[in-house]
Amino acid sequence: MVQQIDGYTFLIETGLMQEVQPISVEFHPHMGFNIKSGLKVTNSGCSSCTSCG
């Protein structure tokens, strides 16, 4: 899926878009992009690895 909004081109795989919507992207001139979505995140964190210490 390709969307052009306010001079920016966004590309996201269709299945992923269906999973994460709604999605919003804010641009901050000195800090970059802030992306918010409806993606469901589990509380498992790093439990499957030991790299976090």
Residue that the structure tokens 């795989």 belong to: 13
| Percent with pLDDT over 70 in the chain | 79
Contact 35, 23 (CB under 8 A): yes
Domain boundaries, the chain: 2-37
Q: What is the pLDDT of residue 6?
A: 85
What is the tens place of the pLDDT at every residue in 10-34?
999 999 989 899 989 898 889 898 9
Residue 43 backbone class (left: φ over 0; alpha: ψ -120 to 50; beta: rest): alpha
Residue 26 to residue 14: CA distance in whole angstroms: 21
Residue 14 to residue 18: CA distance in whole angstroms: 6
Does residue 8 surpass a pLDDT of 70?
Answer: yes
Other C-beta atoms closer than 10 Å to the C-beta of 38 total: 10
